[in-house]
């Protein structure tokens, strides 16, 4: 409700009486005159519908008149609703309706509360605010007859920030070492007590009232010791005061399975592998030029028979393994970064090998289209060694299951050795980070943050429940100390582990301000002071817009459109969907796109529509791809396939602008990533069933080229250049090694035909997939696998060596990049012709050779680019140019790059 409740003489009189009432502990409940009972939902202390947004203001979504409002607090949490009245011993803080409701500044800070009523803390009671926050809090409203109208718990994130964040955000938290002596510090402003559990004893900790930080200084002997905090605090999730024994959210080392934190100085020379201080990194590649391989640590080596450390960090030090040889080839071609799926402490993998389950059946025995493999894998999935890792438990400690010993600091040393191994192979390292949610919240076993400051680190919905739009318990980086944790953690990874970049999972769930704070903190790191050049660290993330914060409902989000111009890239789904066809969640996976045969090579799916519909949709896809090839620039103007002159922002993508970027580098192109079907599997569903293995290989290269040859950075899932398949699994996050492992040796196949994928996320697609899994044309041999990789490497080399693919500004792209046949009678469905400086790039996705005549280029000297002319693909070498007519000829299912002499 906007504005304040209507004031009456009765209200004023009762307020005066309340002001005269004693505020010493007393029974809150008192005999009331008979009155109509309040609705049960209005008297529910298990919810928290009132929000204390600063030390003087409570916002509450209430309607109707009441004559008194107050906060009631009880340190021991004995407040209950009994027979429609508040019962128990508590103390009161009087509230006065605020004329006009929330102020403009408050509405700007809390836009989702803009229509809430506002109540001001009585000046006489403001000295009780800090104490009130350490126990149970209830907001009440009473009617003219004294009966209880509303009673609810209170969200306190805002008031905690108002009281403590100015000082607390400057505090050094977690284990801090000076001259070998540790100080341990924990932010816990609502805790009634905090102590340190170390060596089986409890050590008292001191509270700083200005910051809410509890700390204790230790002796040198504490180094390497295991510890936990013992936190006594009111927990709204269980409606009682609890004493939690909890690990340090700022842990830098852990015991196996994260049972205890370990006091470790990451600057200890014993934790530095040989050569760490003198680590020479490959030359930094600007984000707009980044060519990225997305890689899961276990997938990389677990089935590589040439690796000495399968499934571990140290596999990246096995220089003679097939996997490392392949990565070096990619680096030599121009790949600049390896993006590691989450490698921090994961909450869903048993870290000791002895505790990890394995499938108890022969997975090689059943037929390629059997459901037996997935049933066996699923049976052990919850306790096996596999998970993608989007289940953060501790944000700033390497995952233990990838280390040779999960107990202690081997994980620290070996993570650093992994970085060394990648850097030594010519590749910089990006970490996939997941600060938008936790694996658990409340009093759950694997809850950490919410056991220390309940209701603060997690984002709460209007009723006080934890938001789960990210699939798990959302965090709230808009709150100062969660935002600080994000920044502090990333600075640690950059400085102590020499990580070269970060990819943010669901970055749109972060405030833009938080991500910019990360950028500023990293920029402040220098080689002289910190051993790393923070300005060269790249940042990108998923700028999706959904959930309780969608459309900037609570803050300006780090979404695609909002991050434009910041130098921090967002994944662009525009080109992905246009190349593949349809979307990731289509009921029928046979919906085709530019690189999967729409109109030019139709499959049997009725979802594609009649030929005229297919042609029209294909031309729209070509417009989306043209925008994607510019780097998704919003202001780029071109003639679309209908002949209209449009900006990138005026091309429609499912109701949103296709172009949203301000400069090359704002948008990251990709044709596939770890989630959704791999590119090979998507094409398996979409290409006609009789498409040969060789033709599938060519379409794979063409689809990857739409991302590789676009302006700005591009990402490819590791193994896609080897036709990697997950046997049609669209969500392999917990599908084990059987469906996920990479196969570097072509004789081991590409992973296709390993049985029907796990039922939980794929059963509705089984009728489409079962006939495919036994198809000979979908089982590529070494010629197709190796040929695809070689052709892809040629394109990466082209991308890395031709400056025209690395234009720095939107103006340069506008002046040097064009689509000369777009919107004319000469535009061919299934073919995109792009002029780029002295290059002409032709994407021919059709099953026939095509001629593209560009009269403006007549009599100029063009020839197939030397990289392709001397390259690995014998088919594309047949491409030609006839200068008299300006006609380029390109074979079927090919991308050809021509260079002007």
Please list the residues that pair with 136 across neighbouring strands.
Answer: 74
DSSP assignments along 820-870, one per residue: TTTTSTTPPTTEEEEEETTEEEEEE-SSS-EEEE-GGGTT--EEE-HHHHT
Annotated catalytic residue, options 414, 542, 681, 835 = 542
**Is residue 457 within 8 Å of residue 476, measured between CB atoms?**
yes
- H or E element in which residue 70 lies: strand 68-74
Annotated catalytic residue, options 322, 432, 505, 623 = 505
Cα-based torsion angle of the residue sequence 349, 477, 520, 505 in order, rounded to the nearest 10 degrees: 40
Question: Looking at 555-649, which runs of residues are DSSP E strands?
Answer: 569-571, 637-639, 645-647
Tell me, yes or no, if 652 is annotated catalytic: no
**Is residue 649 within 8 Å of residue 560, measured between CB atoms?**
no
Please list the residues that pair with 540 across neighbouring strands.
Answer: 503, 569
Distance (Å, whole) CA 712 – CA 810: 11
Nearest residue to 151 via CA among 244, 248, 48, 77:
48
Distance (Å, whole) CA 388 – CA 400: 14
Which residues are CB-contacts of 818 (< 8 A; sequence separation ≥ 6)?
638, 834, 835
Distance (Å, whole) CA 439 – CA 485: 16
Tell me, yes or no, if 542 is annotated catalytic: yes
Please list the residues that pair with 633 across neighbouring strands.
Answer: 661
Q: Give, to the nearest 10 degrees, the angle between helix 573-580 and helix 611-629.
A: 150
Residue 502, both tokens: 């970060």
Which residues are CB-contacts of 872 (< 8 A; sequence separation ≥ 6)?
787, 790, 791, 793, 794
Distance (Å, whole) CA 686 – CA 677: 12
Distance (Å, whole) CA 139 – CA 117: 13
Distance (Å, whole) CA 429 – CA 338: 5
Cα-based torsion angle of the residue sequence 709, 715, 717, 721 in order, rounded to the nearest 10 degrees: 20
Distance (Å, whole) CA 760 – CA 328: 37
| Residue 758 DSSP label | P
Euclidean distance between the first and the last CA atom of the chain, given in angstroms as a whole number: 71
Indicate which residues carry an active-site annotation: 505, 542
């Amino acid at each position: 409700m906007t504005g304040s409740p209507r004031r009456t003489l009765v209200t004023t009189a009762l307020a005066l009486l309340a002001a005269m009432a004693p505020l010493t502990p007393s029974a809150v409940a008192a005999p009331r005159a008979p009155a109509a009972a309040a609705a049960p939902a209005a008297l529910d202390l298990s919810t928290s519908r009132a929000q204390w947004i600063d030390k003087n203001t409570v916002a509450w979504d209430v309607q109707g008149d009441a004559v008194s409002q107050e906060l009631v607090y009880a340190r021991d949490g004995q407040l209950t609703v009994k027979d429609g009245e508040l019962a128990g011993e508590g103390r009161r803080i009087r509230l006065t309706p605020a004329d006009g409701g929330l102020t403009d500044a408050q509405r700007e800070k809390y836009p989702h509360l803009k229509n809430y009523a506002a109540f001001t803390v009585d000046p006489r009671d403001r000295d009780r605010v800090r104490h009130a926050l350490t126990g149970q809090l209830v907001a009440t409203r009473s009617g003219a007859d004294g009966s209880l109208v509303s009673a609810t718990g209170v969200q306190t994130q805002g008031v905690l920030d108002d009281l403590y964040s100015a000082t607390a955000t400057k505090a050094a938290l977690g284990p801090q070492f000076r001259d070998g002596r540790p100080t341990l510090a924990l932010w816990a402003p609502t805790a009634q007590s905090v102590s340190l559990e170390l060596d089986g004893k409890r050590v008292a900790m001191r509270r700083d009232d200005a910051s809410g930080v509890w700390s204790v200084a230790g002796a040198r002997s504490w180094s390497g010791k295991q510890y936990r905090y013992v936190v006594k605090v009111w927990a709204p999730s269980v409606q009682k005061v609890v004493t939690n024994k909890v690990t340090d959210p700022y842990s830098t080392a852990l015991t196996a399975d994260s049972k205890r934190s370990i006091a470790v100085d990451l600057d200890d020379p014993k934790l530095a592998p040989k050569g760490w201080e003198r680590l020479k990194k490959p030359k930094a590649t600007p984000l707009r030029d980044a060519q990225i391989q997305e890689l899961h640590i276990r997938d990389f080596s677990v089935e590589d028979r040439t690796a000495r450390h399968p499934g571990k960090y140290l596999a990246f030090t096995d220089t003679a393994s097939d996997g490392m040889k392949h990565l070096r080839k990619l680096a030599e071609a121009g790949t600049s970064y390896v993006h590691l799926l989450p490698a921090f402490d994961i909450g869903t993998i048993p870290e000791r090998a002895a505790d990890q389950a394995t499938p108890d059946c022969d997975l090689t025995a059943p037929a390629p289209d059997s459901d037996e493999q997935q049933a066996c894998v699923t049976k052990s999935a919850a306790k096996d060694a596999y998970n993608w890792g989007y289940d953060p438990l501790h944000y700033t400690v390497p995952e233990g299951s990838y280390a040779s010993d999960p107990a202690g600091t081997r994980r620290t040393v070996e993570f650093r050795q992994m970085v060394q191994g990648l850097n030594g192979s010519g590749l910089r390292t990006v970490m996939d980070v997941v600060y938008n949610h936790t694996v658990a919240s409340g009093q759950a076993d694997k809850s950490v943050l919410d056991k220390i400051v309940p209701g603060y680190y997690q984002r709460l919905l209007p009723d006080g429940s934890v938001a789960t739009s990210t699939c798990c318990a959302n965090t709230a980086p808009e709150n100062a100390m969660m935002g600080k944790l994000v920044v502090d953690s990333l600075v640690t990874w950059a400085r102590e582990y020499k990580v070269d970049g970060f990819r943010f999972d669901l970055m749109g769930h972060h405030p833009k301000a938080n991500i910019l704070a990360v950028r500023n903190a990293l920029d402040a790191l220098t080689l002289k002071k910190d051993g790393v050049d923070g300005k060269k660290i790249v940042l990108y993330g998923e700028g999706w817009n959904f959930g309780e914060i969608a459309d900037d409902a609570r803050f300006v989000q780090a979404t695609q459109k909002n991050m434009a111009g910041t130098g921090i890239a967002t994944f662009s789904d525009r080109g992905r969907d246009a190349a593949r066809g349809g979307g990731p969640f289509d009921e029928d996976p046979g919906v085709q796109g530019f690189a999967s045969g729409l109109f030019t090579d139709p499959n049997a799916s009725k979802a594609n529509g009649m030929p005229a519909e297919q042609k029209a949709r294909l031309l729209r896809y070509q417009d989306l791809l043209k925008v994607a090839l510019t780097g998704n620039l919003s202001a780029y103007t071109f003639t679309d396939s209908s002949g209209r002159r449009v900006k990138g922002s005026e091309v429609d993508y499912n109701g949103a602008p296709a172009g949203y970027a301000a400069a090359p580098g704002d948008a990251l192109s990709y044709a596939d990533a770890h989630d959704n079907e791999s590119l090979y599997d998507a094409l398996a569903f979409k290409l006609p069933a009789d498409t040969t293995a060789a033709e599938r290989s060519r379409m794979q290269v063409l689809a990857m080229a739409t991302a590789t040859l676009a302006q700005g950075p591009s990402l490819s899932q590791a193994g896609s250049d080897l036709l990697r398949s997950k046997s049609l699994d669209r969500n392999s996050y917990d599908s084990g090694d059987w469906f996920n492992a990479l196969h570097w040796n072509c004789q081991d196949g590409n992973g296709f035909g390993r049985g029907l994928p796990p039922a939980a996320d794929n059963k509705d697609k089984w009728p489409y997939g079962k006939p495919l899994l036994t198809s000979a044309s979908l089982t590529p041999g070494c010629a197709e696998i190796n040929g695809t990789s070689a052709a892809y490497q040629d394109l990466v080399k082209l991308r890395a060596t031709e400056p025209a693919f690395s234009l720095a500004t939107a103006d340069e792209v506008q002046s040097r990049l064009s689509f000369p046949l777009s919107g004319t009678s000469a535009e061919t469905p299934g073919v995109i012709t792009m002029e780029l400086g002295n290059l002409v790039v032709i994407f021919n996705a059709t099953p026939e050779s095509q001629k593209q005549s560009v009269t403006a280029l007549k009599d100029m000297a063009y020839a197939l680019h030397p990289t392709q002319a001397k390259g690995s693909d014998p088919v594309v070498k047949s491409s030609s140019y006839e200068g008299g007519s300006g006609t380029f000829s390109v074979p079927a299912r090919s991308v050809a790059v021509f260079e002007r002499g």
